[in-house]
Amino acid sequence: MNMSPNQVFLLDGAGALLTAFLTGVILTYFHPLFGMPVEKCYVLGAVAVIFSIYSFSCAIQLKKKHAPFLKFIAITNGIYCLITTGFVIYYFSELSTLGVIYFVVETLVVAFVIALEWRVANQLSTVNYQS
């Protein structure tokens, strides 16, 4: 799958918005179905909003030198996954099966996006290095 850096930023921004909605609205509203403490869902949702703003801003404003910005969002997405995993481990006894499934699937999707961001950033670095 060949994507431009702007497409990757747009994908990341849209995914972060979806995550913000799911964790900050759906998981909190249906808390008994998922089990993650509401405050933790709000934290994850707020971080996702910040990531979304960052990615959409990069898509709109960057004209060149995308690689470091892609690597930055890939690293921060990785940290987000680690924090989410920490929450899942810490609150595991409170989570429902649906809650565990949600966070595992979210982490796998974000891991795919991280790999895509890193691959595109490395391709850009190689192209820029050879030019």
Domain boundaries, the chain: 5-130
Compute the distance between CA of residue 37 and CA of residue 106 in angstroms, rounded to an integer. 17
pLDDT for position 33: 96
Give the mean pLDDT of 13-18: 97
50-107 residue pLDDT tens:
999 999 999 999 988 899 999 999 999 999 999 999 999 999 999 999 999 999 999 9
